Amino acid sequence: MPTFQHGSTRLHYEVTGDGPPLLLLAPGGMRSSIPFWQRAPFHPVLAFSDRFRVIAMDQRNAGQSSGEISADHGWHTYAEDQLALLDHLRIARCAVFGGCVGGAFALKLAELASERVSALVLQQPIGFDGRNRSVFYELFASWQAELASSGRALDEPALKRFKHALYDGDFVFSVTPESVRRCRSPMLVLRGNDVYHPARISEQIARLAPNAELIRTWREGEHTRRAVARVRTFLTAHAAR
């Protein structure tokens, strides 16, 4: 199980397959880590590693990764970790597949380093629908409680500022609608349909992004098989060269 030391942050990652690089940014909220892909409607490592070099990772302070938490941290902090991992693996440009919170990570990565992102797949991205902020606060609180129960010394004021930096925005939390409007990377959006992944957020992303396609139904049975085939075709067409 390879790890990479990035400053004071220790990142766990796994690489499967060969071919054009595909970076996975996992579901799981603050616990975004490789095992959460097993709970997704389809597992991108299993679906795409025969054609792509698939890089899966645990985000800082999730799974087997760890790192400091500072008051000035936010979505950009995760993007910096992701870019550091790509640099470590000598990957200049890649496609990015983000599930759930991974969609917010992916959009921030594309905003900060558009030249590194050849294409984006957003699988039921999270977002604010005007009523659901409390569910993200609750997820943060349960993650914080887990850190505390592990015996880790926590800076409570820093954690509070970190939480608000992550979840006090609107839209997809990590970037603005204008940022998505400026994103030129080809984008495939698999629509969400629940309190964490509001359908209207997926639809809004697909309307705003100039090179986006929306898949409305994809989670079950034959719809899943067709969606996987479409994602595969999309990634093949827009793989980093």
The whole-angstrom separation of Cα 171 and Cα 104 is 10
3-state class of 10 per DSSP? strand
- The pTM of this model reads 0.97
- What is the reported pLDDT for 241? 72
Interval 113-167: pLDDT, tens: 999 999 999 999 999 999 999 999 999 999 999 999 998 889 999 999 999 999 9
Cα 176 versus chain centre, distance: 16
In the chain, the largest separation of any two C-alpha atoms, in whole Å, equals 48
Contacts of 61 (CB under 8 A, 6+ apart): 30, 67, 69, 143, 147
What percent of the chain clears pLDDT 90, i.e. is strictly above it?
A: 97
- What is the reported pLDDT for 1? 72
Mean pLDDT, residues 43-57 taken together:
98
pLDDT averaged over every residue in the chain = 97
Give the start-end residues of each E strand in the chain: 3-6, 9-16, 21-25, 53-57, 94-99, 117-123, 187-190, 212-215
Tokens in use for 22?
Answer: 């595909």
Cα 25 versus chain centre, distance: 4
Interval 202-221: pLDDT, tens: 999 999 999 999 999 999 99
* Domain 3-237: which CATH number of 1.10.490.10, 3.40.630.30, 3.40.50.1820, 3.60.150.10: 3.40.50.1820
